[in-house]
Structure formats: C-alpha cells, structure tokens
Amino acid sequence: MKYLIEEFQDIGYGSYKNWFASRQVERLYHLIEREEVSKEKANDIITYLKQVAKQYNNEVGATAQMSLAQYYAMQDKQEKVDELIESIEQRLTSIDNPKFKEDKWMRVKTRLESIKNRNEQTASMKDRDTLFYEVQPNMIDQMEIYKDDVGERRYRINVLLKKEYHPEFAVVTSKNIGNFLAVTYQEEMLASGLPTIQTGISEGRFSLGPYEKKKKAEQVLRRISD
C-alpha cells in the first residue's frame, strides 16, 4: 500500500483528484483499527502516516491526518485530536476540493465527535458505582451477535446464562439497581459500554457491546466460548 500511496499521487482530476491514493491511506489505517497487525507494526504505520501527512500537502496528506485524528481519539488523546482538526480544516481550505471535504472529512469529523462523546461518558462513569460480574464459559447457555437497528448500527452480543446461574444474577443485579453493569472475563472488561441496571434481571440475559466492527464482537464471543 505504501507504493500505491507514494507512486499514485495526482491520479484523477477535479473533485476526484488523489482519491485512489487517499483510499490506500485509509486501508492502511484500518489495519490498526481492525486489530489485524501487531502493536509494533501498528506503531510503524502511525509513524508512516505522520510522514505522509507532513510530506503531501494535498488530499492524501489530509487523509493521513484524518486517520491520525481517529487513532488519537480512540486513545482518548483529545488535545492531539483538536490540534489535528484545526490543521485539517486549514489544509482543506488550501486544497479547495469541496467534494472531498463533504464526502470524506465531514464523515470523519462526525465520527470524531461521536468518539469524543463516548470518551466523556466513559470518564463520567468512573465516578459511579459499578457491578463487576465475572463470567466463565461454563456459565453460558447461549450467545449470538446482532446489529443495532438504531443509532450507529453497531454490533452487540446477546448472552443467556445457564438456569442455575439465574438466581445469583437476579440477586446481585437487584442489589445494584442504578449502578453500571460491567461483565468481565479473567478480570478484564469485555466491552467499554456499561449499561445502567434498571431492575433485577431474573432471566439471566444481558448484552455486551457496542462494538464498531463485527470482527471485534466475534473475537469477544470466541474468547468467552473457549
């Protein structure tokens, strides 16, 4: 992909200038987001994206900045995100490609705002009581992945505990109404989303998520199935 980014500059014309090379930048970043590379390789990609952002004062460089902004947003490094947003806005003004700004930047900017809101919500949760409920593979009767029908249509995992665990789950959830529910496995939280316990859960059902990618949901499901 690096070859395609570097050697296919200025392909296309008008509103579609540099779209091909920009797409390769996005594909390279997605390797990190989808956790398809090692941590060391991910660091190498981030270093390369910084080089691209600095070297190319065009749509390709702007796309590299957008990728970096998303990376830092996921790391909850909002100060770096804000700096990149300002820089991207300035660069897009100099590029003067309204369609690129509309089709690419506005989509990414909306996602950055969504991640920021989620990070702020997660931070506020730290000050509230949380029920940490540890599960084991032998406790689970059924699991299935489904996609939300509303909002950003992310993926979740529906979980049904075996009947012998229903009474205990009902008791602990009844004692924690108003608190957050964090389901853990091997002392690690299985999802960043923490639902509020509205009532005692007597049927042993709960959901994990949300996950932006189906592959991530599948990884969690396999992990607690083994």
Structure confidence by residue, pLDDT tens digits, 48-61: 999 999 999 999 99
Mark whether 167 and 94 lie in a shared domain: no
Backbone angles phi, psi at 63, to 5 degrees: -65, -40
**Where among 72, 105, 125 does a domain terminate?**
125
CATH number at residue 147: 3.30.1360.200
Looking at every residue in the chain, the average pLDDT score rounds to 90
Show Cβ contacts of residue 17 under 8 Å, excluding neighbours closer than 6 positions. 10, 11, 58, 59, 97
Q: Give the angle 36-87-211 at the CA atoms, nearest 5°.
A: 30
Of 2 and 150, the one with more pLDDT: 2
Average pLDDT over residues 157-171: 95
Mark whether 25 and 120 lie in a shared domain: yes
> For the chain, how many structural domains are there in total?
2
Mark whether 140 and 99 lie in a shared domain: no
> At which residue do the structure tokens 């997660």 appear?
122
Q: What is the pTM of this model?
A: 0.58
Mark whether 18 and 109 lie in a shared domain: yes
Mark whether 161 and 201 lie in a shared domain: yes
- Structure-block tokens of residue 212: 């932006």
**Where among 94, 125, 156 does a domain terminate?**
125
> At which residue do the structure tokens 């702007």 appear?
62
**Where among 103, 125, 147 does a domain terminate?**
125
CB 184 within 8 A of CB 134: yes
Mark whether 90 and 200 lie in a shared domain: no
- Structure-block tokens of residue 81: 């995100």
Which residue range(s) make up the domain with 149? 130-223
Q: Does residue 66 register a pLDDT over 90?
A: yes
The residues that bridge with 188 in the sheet, in sequence order, are 185
Which of these ranges, 1-5, 119-123, 137-141, 216-220, has the smallest mean pLDDT?
A: 119-123
